[in-house]
Amino acid sequence: MDLFLLEAIINGILLGGVLALLALGLNLIFGVIDVVWIAYADIVMCGMYVLYYLYAQFGVPLPIAFLVAIVSMAAMGVLVHVLIIAPVLESAPINQLLATGGLLFFLQSFATLLFGTEFKNIGVRLPILEVADIYISFSRLLAFGIGLVGAVVLYVFLKRTYIGTAIRAIAQDRDIIGLMGVDQRKIYLVTSAIGGALAGLAACLLALQYDVHPYIGNQFGPVIFMICVLGGLGNMIGGFIASFIISMIIAIGGYYSNTELAYVFAFAFFIVLMFVRPRGLFSR
Amino acid sequence: MSINRIIPVAGIAVLLLVLPFVIPSYFMHLVIQILIFAFIYTAWALMGRFGFVSFGHGAFMGIGAYVPALLWNYYNVTPWLGIPLAVVLSALLGVVIGYPCFRLKVVGHYFALVTLALSQVVLLSLTAARDITGGSLGLTIRTVGHSWYALQFPEKIYFYGIAIVVWLIGLYAWQRVDHGISREALEAISEGEDAAAAVGINVLREKLRVTIISAALTALGGAIYGQYFMYLNPETVSGIAVSLQIVFAVIAGGLYSLMGPTVGAIITLSLTEGLRVFFGTHFIGAANTIYGILLVLCIIFLPQGIVGKLQGITLRRRGPAKPVAAPQ
């Protein structure tokens, strides 16, 4: 096989790890709260700025900067829920979608106002590994590995803890759960915090590979929604698999043409698949 | 037409006739923009009001803007041919995406996100074909000065006239749908597809018809936008940002009333323009920051839009309020 193609495929798998992490957060929020956060990728952008300022500007050690970025994005998730989602919980789904769309406008322009439109890099240079003539970026490998670990930790949390069980229960039946003595609002807050933390974790991993700028969310946002819908909104395992399908299309498409067309292939593939499986690939 | 309706209609007509003689050129520019976008917003609301929330209208607008411009720039084809072609293409795309969606009952979030993917496809295709379209650097329409053949007019008054005509076309289409039998059918569909089908409504045909009208009119709006501005950029005529902008303006103005989208255009464009002038270029992003906050507040506190809210107040004063169809 062509060596460059192989390299593209490996990079595709590695990209899938980060996308899977993002899809996981979005799916969790959708499954539990039944709201699509259109601005999810822009929360990632905020996390990347936090990391950039802490590490590159103020010289905070990287692990601490990572931790602060994750925790502050978890706090932001809670804030988004309390300020924006909670008031529209009873509204029509379209209004909920639009409320987070307003947040998207706000975050992108506020970031432009605060930080300007320049591309900023945190300046961590990780080595590039060479395995049998194939070049693999270590930052991508790291992102992939941590993404997988994050997914497993979340899975264990949902399966093994009381709150995790309550979260899964609420995703199955919203109305009855109150009768079981579960405080719905508390679960919503915890879910939003986890969703925010996952965005923060993704921000840390993406900051190693990409420059941060106010509109970086537009680069990932639509792809993540597509992955979630493809896997079945709210279906975490479906979203996880769909991440790798889409990232593979993007990687291989990019190898044969250019990046934009690769995304066009991915979106077109998505639209066609929606007609074959309208409720997502893995709908029951 | 009752006297209650003649007065506002006559008032708007007189205002539109007098406006070009009294306001300076810059405000003419703003009014023309408002009229063109009011038309596009009205076209979107044709679908949106029945719960088919499309995030894909950026795709139709992009096709409408780029097809005539490319044909003119490369093949000297007059926009008088290019624009109808763009409208037809856009309507076809509406069918290609709409038919399977409606057939397979892709609704709600799924419909919104499928259409979002559609507008991303158009945006990325326009960017990727940078040899022809100029990519993200944009495309300037070749100018020839004052020409009916090229549909180019340096004087604003011509486009003022054209913008009023398309705006009226939009309102007319809205009225036709609003007063036709389709409206009852579509409202029934938006409240429950299976129930609507059970009482003998051809769900697929009704949805498809309104989608085709909406897509075609949006393309026309995009084409007029392109001819007026003479500069196109993939980001400003298609993609997620434009699609969201359309949805927001309509929600802000009011989804369920004839003048709602127009009011939405007036509010959002005056606001962006006003904030831009107020903040100048020193604070890039300040205007949109405030805009974003207002959008969120608007959706939380005024979900039925400004016109809807006003109507609600007057209706309550006159007697029991007419039930408004709940959005899907």
- Phi-psi map region of A132: left, alpha, beta (phi>0 left; psi -120 to 50 alpha): left
- Tell me the per-residue pLDDT of A196-222, one tens digit each, with 9 for 90 and over: 999 999 999 888 888 899 988 888 888
What pLDDT is recorded for position A189? 92
What pLDDT is recorded for position A203? 92
ipTM over 0.90: no
* Contact map slice: A 145-174 vs B, CB within 8 A: none
Mutation target for A interface from B300, B304, B328: give the one with most A CBs within 10 A. B300
Q: Which residues contact B293 (CB under 8 A, 6 or more apart)?
A: A102, A106
In this complex, which of A91, A113, A229 lies closest to B289 when CB atoms are compared? A113
In chain A, which residues have their Cβ closer than 8 Å to the Cβ of B97?
271
What pLDDT is recorded for position A67? 94
Task: With a cut of 80, say whether residue A237 has pLDDT above it.
Answer: yes
Confidence (pTM): 0.84
Determine the Cα–Cα distance for residues A169 and A165; give it in Å rounded to an integer. 6
Contact B300 A113 (CB under 8 A): no
Contact B105 A278 (CB under 8 A): yes
Average pLDDT rounded to a whole number, residues B164-179? 90
- The verdict on B46 touching A (C-beta cutoff 8 Å) is no
Crossing angle of the two packed helices A259-276 and A236-256, in degrees rounded to 10? 140
Task: With a cut of 90, say whether residue B162 has pLDDT above it.
Answer: yes
* Contact map slice: B 214-243 vs A, CB within 8 A: 239-241
Average pLDDT rounded to a whole number, residues A115-121? 85
- Tell me the per-residue pLDDT of B100-149, one tens digit each, with 9 for 90 and over: 888 887 777 778 888 888 888 899 889 888 888 888 888 888 888 888 88
- The verdict on A265 touching B (C-beta cutoff 8 Å) is no
Largest CA distance in chain B: 62
Determine the Cα–Cα distance for residues B52 and B253; give it in Å rounded to an integer. 18
- Determine the Cα angle at B96 with ends B94 and B98, to 5°: 60
Mutation target for A interface from B109, B125, B235, B244: give the one with most A CBs within 10 A. B109
Residue of A nearest to B114 (CA): A271
What is the residue extent of each domain of chain B? 3-239
With cut-offs at 50, 70 and 90, classify the pLDDT of residue B325: very low
In chain A, which residues have their Cβ closer than 8 Å to the Cβ of B327?
92, 94-95
Average pLDDT rounded to a whole number, residues A149-166? 86
| DSSP bridge pairs for B231 | B140
Determine the Cα–Cα distance for residues A191 and A186; give it in Å rounded to an integer. 9
Greater pLDDT, A104 or A284: A104
What pLDDT is recorded for position B314? 61
Residue of B nearest to A36 (CA): B109
Residue of B nearest to A96 (CA): B299
Task: With a cut of 80, say whether residue A25 has pLDDT above it.
Answer: yes
Give the count of Cβ contacts less than 8 A between chain A and B: 152
B234 neighbors B127 (Cβ within 8 angstroms): yes
Mutation target for B interface from A230, A264, A272: give the one with most B CBs within 10 A. A264
Task: With a cut of 80, say whether residue A233 has pLDDT above it.
Answer: no
Of the CA atoms within 13 Å of residue B279, those in its CB half-sphere come to 17
Q: What is the DSSP string of B21-33?
A: HHS-HHHHHHHHH
Average pLDDT rounded to a whole number, residues B257-274? 88
Listed residue (A159, A97, A106) closest to B293, CA to CA: A106
Q: Which of A84-88, A90-94, B284-288, B312-316 has the highest mean pLDDT?
A: A84-88
Smallest CA–CA separation between A218 and chain B, in Å?
Answer: 8
Contact B117 A101 (CB under 8 A): no
Average pLDDT rounded to a whole number, residues A4-14? 83
| DSSP bridge pairs for A226 | none
Contact A108 B117 (CB under 8 A): no
Q: Look at strands B231-232 and A134-137 and give their pairing.
A: unpaired
Q: 């400004």: which residue's tokens?
A: B306
B265 neighbors B253 (Cβ within 8 angstroms): yes
Average pLDDT rounded to a whole number, residues B93-105? 88
What pLDDT is recorded for position A256? 83
What pLDDT is recorded for position B319? 44
Crossing angle of the two packed helices A236-256 and A3-33, in degrees rounded to 10? 150
Mutation target for A interface from B299, B304, B324: give the one with most A CBs within 10 A. B299
Contact A274 B110 (CB under 8 A): yes
Q: Which of A277-281, B95-99, B293-297 has the highest mean pLDDT?
A: B95-99
What pLDDT is recorded for position A283? 65
Task: With a cut of 70, say whether residue B327 has pLDDT above it.
Answer: no
Determine the Cα–Cα distance for residues A249 and A242; give it in Å rounded to an integer. 11
With cut-offs at 50, 70 and 90, classify the pLDDT of residue B266: very high
Task: With a cut of 70, say whether residue A115 has pLDDT above it.
Answer: yes
